[in-house]
A and B are shown apart, each in its own frame.
Chain A
Amino acid sequence: MARYILQRLGYMLLTLFLIATFSFFLMKMLPGSPMKAEEKLSEAQLEILYEKYNLDDPVPVQYINYLGNLVQGDLGVSFQLNNQPVTDLLASRIPVSAHLGFQAMILGTILGMLLGLVAAVRNNSWIDYTSNVISVIGISIPSFIFAGLLQYFVGVKLGLLPIAFWEGFKHTIMPTIALAIFPLAIAARFLRTEMIEVLGSDYIVTARAKGVTKGGIMFKHGLRNALIPLVTVMGPMAVSLMTGTLVIEQIFSIPGIGEQFVTSVTTNDFPVIMGTTLFFAFFFILIILVIDILYGIIDPRIRLAGGKD
């Protein structure tokens, strides 16, 4: 197992290198430059700036320099935000997004799983239909609508919770709920479908024939076998939630990475784009590794070759 994880980490570095390379050259192919965006600078001023940031070097040289810095953990400085180092920027922004995303993911997954389980056990009852309606609403209505509704009713009308900013747990509640509805809906649907199939399988009848109680059937025999598809969809979803959600962050004025990323794209702020892209990629690959390890823990049939039981 340790060997497998090391091997995977090796591949991970390779993947990151490739992503860094591709995004670097893709960005260089884009028209425009970070300095041209807003201010009207003279040719001379531009030249000074280019030289300062080494943007006048040939692209391959810039690439080598970039990689060299990257290896040392230096992602460069932002062109827009007063030369703030990109690592500092990420370090201040990412924890906020990750915190929000993590909370939403946990809330959504747990509630969604409960809903899916109940719907599966009470298949074709009013609970099942209700769960179905909730799922359809959660999947089809975008989160900013929930965000707006929450802000209006809970924040403005009832005055229960702050409608914006990021200043403590209270401030996290509404964005978390707005963001949790989608994973909730997905978890409920997937678990329900899979659970119904699992509960109809032969080994569940075997378990019943042993005299196992209903709770035992559901949690000991059913749930574990129904988890694989759920893990498959929830992993990437966790990544997208935890790496910043532009709309929700904007609506609630949350200083997360999602908002920053979009700004950097519109202003051609290369180092920030690169840094954020690499971070997203890193996080995504990491989650995929975690999912693969989880698969093996959940289902011994896909346990890795060479690994110990």
Chain B
Amino acid sequence: MEKILEVNDLHISFDTYGGEVKAVRGVTFDLKKGETLAIVGESGSGKSVTTRALARLIPSPPGRIKQGEILFDGKDLAKLKEKEMQQIRGKDISTIFQDPMTSLNPTMKIGNQIMEGLIKHQKMSRAQAKSRAIELLELVGLPNPTERINQYPHQFSGGQRQRVVIAIALACNPKILIADEPTTALDVTIQAQILELMKDIQKKTESSIIFITHDLGVVANVADRVAVMYAGKIVEIGTVDEIFYNPKHPYTWGLLGSMPTLDSTEDSLIAIPGSPPDMLKPPKGDAFAPRNEYALEIDKEMEPPMFKVSDTHYAATWLLHEYAPDIEPPEAVKRRMKGFAQTGAGESKEGERP
């Protein structure tokens, strides 16, 4: 499959009064045409920073891309000038943000907010842009688009606003759509609608989606591949099935174990003890080691490299080293894994995957 985006060894730091916060410490992944890559991880793991960096939306100062490359369309986005980047943002790479209540300009008609990108990137006249905006609102399922286009954000509900935000992001048929927790701020029934909508649109437009979330239920629903981030690094990456049925990294076990499911009433949730490391002083060795009951001695000394599990599945844990003891995931997680197999997490995507 054709690669549309390649991120190599990306480092992002924020210069603060307290020192340099190393938010992203060497992230490497690629994105293929038409696929959905989910990035999961707890708050502060660097997932939002990573994806914002793809569109160069990190405020600088204090943020900066320290090292690494973001290859898109033959260009290294990490090195583009702001002016050149403005040509790519909204046109090739669009972003859907988390909170629809605050991500629309309250003093601008939503029509104008949608049309803005069209006029800029596609050189449309106002009239053309307007009819395209109406089409887009229809596409995202807002009733009465011709009327609603002249309304302001406060006249829309949260779910409707998120549809508008999606319409803005889709306006110029972007090749890559970055969805930064697009459903987190919505209530559950609306969440499902928005997810369906995004899947639907992806089928029509064939864009690639990077989906950031900490909700593994959402991941199972939408993603083709999953990258698990911890402390500014990808610790495990693989297809949805590989991550759900055959996770290798203890942190992924922890995530799966802490995920509530309807059919696992007898299990209590397994919390991952401790809290993420201070990124001002990232620990030596494996950043997850202090919270990891399966940590080996070497974890305290040396960071694990990415071990290959299969062609598509990699994990950064010493447990995969040939000398490492054979450690099984905890019972509860195993039961979960079995549960996923029965309920068929990721199965909805099975047929579509080439």
Assess whether A212 is in contact with B57, with CB atoms less than 8 Å apart: no
Give the most central of A214, A221, A300: most B CB within 10 Å.
A300
| B303 interface contact, C-beta 8 A | no
Interface residues of A in 138-168 (CB under 8 A from B): none
B152, chain A: closest CB distance, angstroms: 4
Of B29-37, B94-102, B203-211, B279-287, the one contacting chain A is B94-102
Contact A209 B55 (CB under 8 A): yes
Contact residue among A203, A211, A225, A309 (Cβ-Cβ distance under 8 Å from B91): A211
Q: CB within 8 Å of A: which of B3-56?
A: 55
Residue of B nearest to A297 (CB): B107
Residues on the A chain within 8 Å of B171, using CB: 210
Q: Looking at A202, A220, A299, which has the most chain B CB atoms within 10 Å of its CB?
A: A202
Report whether A203 and B102 are in contact in the complex, using a CB–CB cutoff of 8 Å: yes
Q: Are B57 and A300 in contact (CB-based, < 8 A)? A: no
A36 within 8 A of B: no
The answer to whether B108 has its CB under 8 Å from any CB of chain A is: yes
Contact A211 B106 (CB under 8 A): no
Residue A136 at the B interface, CB < 8 A?
Answer: no
Instruction: Please tell me if the beta carbons of B116 and A206 are within 8 angstroms of each other in the complex.
Output: no
Within 8 A of A (CB), among B98-147: 99, 102-108, 116-117, 120-121
The answer to whether B104 and A206 have CB atoms under 8 Å apart is: yes
Question: In residues 276-309 of chain A, which contact B (Cβ within 8 Å)?
Answer: 298-301, 309
B168 touches A210 (CB 8 A): yes
Contact mask for chain A residues 91-120; partner B; CB cutoff 8 A; 1 contact, 0 none: 000000000000000000000000000000
Given A202, A209, A309, which contacts B150 in the complex, CB threshold below 8 Å?
A309
Q: Does A224 contact B (CB under 8 A)?
A: yes
Beta-carbon contact of B106 and A208 below 8 Å? no
Is A207 engaged at the interface, CB distance under 8 Å to the other chain? yes
Q: How far is the CA of A305 from the CA of B10 in the complex (A)?
A: 52
Measured CA separation A205–B103 after assembly (Å): 8
B313 proximal to A (CB < 8 A): no
User: How far is B88's CA from A212's CA once the two chains are assembled, in angstroms?
Assistant: 11
Chain B residues within an 8 Å CB radius of A69: none
Q: Is the CB of B106 within 8 A of A309?
A: no
| B 142-158 to A, binary, CB cutoff 8 A, 1 in contact else 0 | 00000000111010000
Are B152 and A301 interface neighbours, CB within 8 A? yes
Q: Knowing A221-B108, A301-B106, A309-B150 touch, does A205 contact B97 (C-beta < 8 A)?
A: yes
Could you say which of B57, B97, B107 contacts A225, with CB atoms under 8 Å apart? B107
The bracket for how many chain B residues form the interface is: 20 to 34
B86 interface residue (CB < 8 Å to A)? yes
Residues of A within 8 A of B88 (CB): 211
Q: Which chain A positions have C-beta within 8 A of B97?
A: 202, 205-206, 209
Chain B neighbourhood of A298, CB < 8 A: 107
Contact count A vs B, C-beta below 8 Å: 79
- Assuming the contacts A202-B99, A301-B154, asked whether A209 and B89 have C-beta atoms less than 8 A apart, the reply is yes
- With a CB–CB cut-off of 8 A, which chain A residues contact B106? 203, 225, 299-301
State whether A210 touches B57 (Cβ < 8 A). Answer: no
Which of B88, B89, B91, B105 has the most chain A CB atoms closer than 10 A to its own CB?
Answer: B105
The reply to whether B117 and A224 contact each other, CB–CB distance below 8 Å, is no
Residues of B within 8 A of A225 (CB): 105-107
Nearest chain B residue, comparing its CB with the CB of A298 = B107
List chain B residues, Cβ under 8 A from A201.
102
Q: If A300-B107, A300-B152 touch, does A209 touch B94 (CB 8 Å cutoff)?
A: yes
Q: Mark B71-105, 1 if CB is under 8 A from A, else 0.
A: 00000000000100011111100110101001111
Judged by a CB distance under 8 angstroms, whether A213 is at the interface is: yes
Please state if B105 and A207 are interface contacts (CB–CB under 8 Å).
yes
CB of A229 to closest CB in B, whole Å: 14
Name the residue among A209, A212, A214, A300 with the largest chain B CB count within 10 angstroms: A209
B86 touches A212 (CB 8 A): yes
Asked if A203 and B90 make an inter-chain contact with CB atoms under 8 angstroms apart, the answer reads no
**Alpha-carbon gap, A298 to B87, bound state (A):** 30
Residues in chain A near residue B165, CB distance under 8 A: 206
CB pair B105 A300 closer than 8 Å: no
Other-chain residue from B86, B105, B152 in contact with A206 (beta carbon distance below 8 A): B105
Instruction: Determine whether the beta carbon of A202 is less than 8 Å from that of B102.
Output: yes
Residue from the list A203, A220, A299 in contact with B104, Cβ < 8 A? A203
Q: Are B89 and A205 in contact (CB under 8 A)?
A: no
Contact in complex: B91, A299 (CB < 8 Å): no
A44 to B105, CA, bound (A): 74
Tell me the chain B residues, 246-264 only, with Cβ under 8 Å from chain A. none
- A202–B103 contact, CB under 8 A? yes
Q: Which residues of B contact A207 (CB under 8 A)?
A: 105, 116
Residue of B nearest to A124 (CB): B61
Distance of A242 Cα from B306 Cα, bound (Å): 72
Please state if A299 and B89 are interface contacts (CB–CB under 8 Å). Answer: no
Q: List 15 A-B contacts (CB under 8 A).
A: A202-B102, A205-B103, A209-B57, A209-B97, A210-B90, A210-B117, A210-B171, A211-B86, A211-B90, A212-B86, A212-B90, A220-B116, A225-B107, A299-B107, A309-B151
Contacts from B to A (Cβ < 8 Å): 55, 57, 82, 86-91, 94-95, 97, 99, 102-108, 116-117, 120-121, 150-152, 154, 165, 168-169, 171
**A-to-B contact residues, CB < 8 Å:** 201-203, 205-214, 216, 220-221, 224-225, 298-301, 309
